[in-house]
């Protein structure tokens, strides 16, 4: 007697479809990853790119619009389209959302005091998508606003991308950390995800920030990604909010 399987046959996965402008966007991102155009460089015009990819200018424009919205490219009226760079002063507060209570803009002064290679703890390895126990670079620094220590950062980096990073190198010059990563190591932070919670100060953070052990601090955990959605930095920032607050704009 023939037995019939009452279960429905397994369906083949549906083919994925990517709009043409998304395919052009992927081509452009690969060109950025490969270094065809570096930070601050002008990219070819929409007409030149349309000819290169054999598509309409409207398709190219849509791809560029999306990349500009994601802070990979910058349009400049009458000049063209350029690769975004961390050296642009307008990008400084993309990743630092701390604001003084009086609303006045204050330039943060970075004071790195430690840079060492250590085995990654499980949460660090998971955030950076590394095998358990992999080595990572740990950078510790303070951020001062108008002389006041406000942030204690513990920054974990994928070491293969930052070969040669030392404490002396971190202390040299007045560039932001992300500007240094971009110019000296070719690593540009495209986007970041953050998680915020209130925590009590432990002994180290209390000493660094000049607060009492157990005092409430704002903990900001950030994973930063470069091209290809690759995580390259995970940091724990402890913020003292006596005279500052964290600002985020929605909409």
Any domain includes 6: no
- Which of 83, 103, 134 is the endpoint of a domain? 83
Q: How confident is the model at residue 2 (pLDDT cuts 50, 70, 90)?
A: very low
Q: What are phi and psi of 64, to 5 degrees?
A: -70, -40
Residue 5 lies in a domain: no
Q: Same domain, yes or no, for 67 and 143?
A: no
Of the candidate ranges 14-23, 130-139, 209-218, the one whose mean pLDDT is the lowest: 14-23
pLDDT tens digit sequence for 42-88: 999 999 999 999 999 999 999 999 988 888 898 988 889 999 887 76
Is residue 93 pLDDT above 80, yes or no?
no
Domain count, the chain: 2
Q: What is the pTM of this model?
A: 0.81
CATH assignment of the domain containing 169: 3.40.1410.10
pLDDT for 15? 45
What's the rounded Cα separation, in Å, for the pair 127 and 98?
23
Sequence-ordered strand ranges (E) for 189-242:
191-200, 216-226, 230-239
Same domain, 52 and 138: no
What is the mean predicted confidence (pLDDT) over 30-36?
86
Q: Are residues 79 and 109 in the same domain?
A: no
Q: Are residues 194 and 229 in the same domain?
A: yes
52 and 67 in a single domain? The answer is yes
List Cβ neighbours of 242 (8 Å cut-off, separation of 6 or more). Answer: none
Print the domain residue range for 69.
Answer: 20-83
Q: In terms of domains, do 78 and 115 share one?
A: no
pLDDT over threshold 60, residue 150: yes
Q: For 160-182, what is each residue's pLDDT tens digit?
A: 999 999 999 999 877 789 889 99
Specify whether 126 is located in the same domain as 201. Answer: yes
Q: What's the rounded mean pLDDT across residues 180-205? A: 93
């Amino acid at each position: 007697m023939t037995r019939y399987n009452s279960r429905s046959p397994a369906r083949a996965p549906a083919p994925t479809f990517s709009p043409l402008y998304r395919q052009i966007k992927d081509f452009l991102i690969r060109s950025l990853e490969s270094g065809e155009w570096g930070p601050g460089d002008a990219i070819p015009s929409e007409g030149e790119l349309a000819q290169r990819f054999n598509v309409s200018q409207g398709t190219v424009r849509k791809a560029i619009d999306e990349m500009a919205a994601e802070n990979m490219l910058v349009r400049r009226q009458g000049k063209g389209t350029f690769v975004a760079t961390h050296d642009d002063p307008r990008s400084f507060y993309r990743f630092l959302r701390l604001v003084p209570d009086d609303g006045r803009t204050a330039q943060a002064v970075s004071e790195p005091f430690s840079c060492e290679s250590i085995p990654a703890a499980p949460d660090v390895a998971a955030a950076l998508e590394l095998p358990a126990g992999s080595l990572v670079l740990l950078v510790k620094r303070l951020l001062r606003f108008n002389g006041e220590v406000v942030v204690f950062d513990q920054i974990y980096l994928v070491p293969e991308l930052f070969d040669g990073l030392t404490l002396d190198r971190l202390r040299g010059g007045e560039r932001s950390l992300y500007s240094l990563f971009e110019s000296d190591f070719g690593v540009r932070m495209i986007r970041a995800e953050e998680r915020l919670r209130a925590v009590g100060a432990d002994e180290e953070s209390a000493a660094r920030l000049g607060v009492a052990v157990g005092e409430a601090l704002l903990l900001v955990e950030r994973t930063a990604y470069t091209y290809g959605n690759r995580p390259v930095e995970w940091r724990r920032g402890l913020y003292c909010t006596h005279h500052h607050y964290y600002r985020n704009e929605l909409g």
